Amino acid sequence: MKAILFANRAGATLQPLTQKTSVALLPIATKPTIAYALDALLMTPIREVIIVISSYGGKIEHLLGDGTHWNMHFTYALTRGQENPIAVLDRLGLREDEYLLIRGDILYDVAIEEFLIAAQTTSSKKSVYLTIDGKFTGICLLRRHEQIWRGIALLSWDTVSWKEFSRLYPEVTTIELEGKLSLLSSLKEFHQTNLDVLAGQYPQLVLPGWLVHPQLLVGRRSVVLGKNEGIIGAFCRIHEKATLKNAIICDEVIVDSNARIQNTIILSNTYVGKTVELNNTIVWGNMLIRVDNDIIIENIDSLLLANLNHSTLRVFLTNYFYRFLGLLIFIISLPLWPLALLSALVENPRKPLYKVKFRSHLREIDEQGHVHPHRFFAWEWATSIPLFRHLPKLLPVIKGKIRLIGVSLETDEQAKNRVQPYEKIRDDTPVGLLGPSQIGLSTDATQEERLLIEAYYARTRHLGKDMLWLLRGFFCLFTKRAWWSNR
């Protein structure tokens, strides 16, 4: 007997996840959904499997290969999208009397070998369908000479009849077994299914990794402290100060210090930044999905979330490059700090150092999943010498709250006064200690001039141009502008 494994589901209800991969490849507890179906087939005598693929079929074929890993032999049948299963079966030219049909894009915890034995011993010559609590599981023993299956939407995702299969099709031969079933029909169900597996509600599934303690399963070459709770994939780096509770972290994920992750699924090749708090979410690269209120956020600042596979990796590394430069300049500037303190004490002995609240280019995620600009306090010396006054702002550069090169710092009040479209162009540009308006304009330039030059900078900036501004900033140290102000 051969098995026909369907992995051609489009998964429109699982977008935006299925814009990047197929449903069959979506991970459940860090393992592709289709792999669980193959694990279940291992418990049967079947070793010949026809895998029906469509979109992202190349990725499925690359993952599974010829079946050697499962001690099976795989052949692949390509369909035109989410094609009607009946048409697919007709085109396959079935010749054997019986086939085991099985979906590779849902999750079930049921003994398929028990179903197969029971189905083959039934007195009925009709096809037999496996149900759990009256729901169709996507598993069927197809008898080729029996034609009644042509009258129903066999294995089709275009019908809601799966959940009421036994009631809607009383004439169909079914075998009811105990087990657990998830159709993965929505983002919320995908999220909850992962948490259910973590909670042990699918006890027959074979999960990857080794058990650190009853609440922590860790994949190969991953680094994570035993205080955490969840399932960790392979090649992950979880900072020792990060906190995980009921978290599922897929392969090649980096979680930075003081991040707090709870009831969250993080898909592969994702960076989670410092102090980020995630709860009841699905995260993939720079995409965040709040499953409780269906909010989807993309293009989050790369210091919060980043895709380690694509261009956001370049942005991520650039941020650390500027932080390193800030640290280097801070070390070089240390001899100036006593002079700055002395200057501030002379001019303002009662309050030589004060702080100002600014807006950063970074973004924060609140409990409702809304994104807001990050606010932070920066210190300034109470002196009229510009170079001395701004020395403490090297500390936010080192912390990554602002860049070394970027648009000028501003307060909430200044941001509210920007209402014209061209005035808001700078909002998606890094805020920096140095930049075109800080260095290129005179101290008596108007606000309109500053916004115009920053709008132009925001649309034309690149690393090479930033290095030129850094060089101009160095030469500015030897001019009157750095040491005297009419402020």
What residues does each domain of the chain span?
Answer: 2-182, 208-309, 319-483
- Please determine whether the domains at 2-182 and 208-309 fall in the same fold group of CATH: no
Average pLDDT over residues 2-25: 90
Give the pLDDT band of residue 407 (cuts 50, 70, 90): very high
Q: What is the DSSP string of 332-377?
A: HHTTHHHHHHHHHHHH-SS-SEEEEEEEEEEEEE-TTS-EEEEEEE
pLDDT, greater one: 285 or 168: 285
Residue 144 has pLDDT above 80, yes or no: no
Class (C level, CATH) for 208-309: mainly beta
> Mean pLDDT throughout 64-73?
91
Average of per-residue pLDDT across 67-77 = 92
Mean pLDDT of 296-325: 76
Under 8 Å between Cβ of 132 and 110: yes
Question: At how many degrees (to 10) do helices 33-42 and 57-64 cross?
Answer: 40
Distance of CA 282 to the CA centre of its chain: 6
User: Is residue 368 predicted with pLDDT exceeding 90?
Assistant: no
Summarize pLDDT for 452-486 with one digit per residue, the tens. 888 888 888 888 888 999 999 999 888 888 888 75
Amino acid at 376: F
Query: CA 40 to CA 177: how far, in whole Å?
Result: 15
Cβ atoms within 10 Å of 401's Cβ, excluding its own: 21
Q: Is the pLDDT of residue 266 over 60?
A: yes
**219, amino acid identity:** G
The answer to whether residues 264 and 278 touch, using CB atoms and an 8 Å cutoff, is yes
Q: Average pLDDT for residues 116-126, to the nearest whole number?
A: 84
Pair 242, 226: CB distance under 8 Å: no
- Count H helices and E strands in the chain, helices first: 15, 28
Sign of the alpha-carbon dihedral angle for 471, 475, 477, 480: negative
The CA distance from 42 to 116, in Å, is 13
Report pLDDT for 459: 83
Output the average pLDDT for the chain. Answer: 87
382, 391 contact by CB (below 8 A): no
Is 148's pLDDT higher than 80? no
First to last CA, the chain: 87
Instruction: For residue 90, count other CB atoms closer than 10 A to its CB.
Output: 11
What pLDDT, in 10s, does the model give residues 225-237? 989 999 999 999 9
Mean pLDDT of 398-406: 90
Region 431-447 average pLDDT: 87
Name the pLDDT band for 145 (thresholds 50, 70, 90). Answer: low
| pLDDT tens sequence across 78-91 | 988 788 787 888 88
Q: What pLDDT does residue 84 have?
A: 77
* Backbone Cα Rg of the chain: 30
Determine the length of the chain.
487
The predicted model gives 311-317 an average pLDDT of 64
Cα–Cα distance measured from residue 23 to residue 184, given in angstroms and rounded to the nearest whole number: 8
Q: State both tokens at 220.
A: 């190969």
Q: 3-class SS at 171?
A: coil
Question: Which amino acid belongs to residue 295?
Answer: I
CATH of domain 2-182: 3.90.550.10
d(CA 388, CA 302): 31
Q: 339 Cβ partners below 8 Å, 6+ apart?
A: 388
Query: How confident is the model over 199-212, as pLDDT tens digits?
Result: 999 999 999 999 99
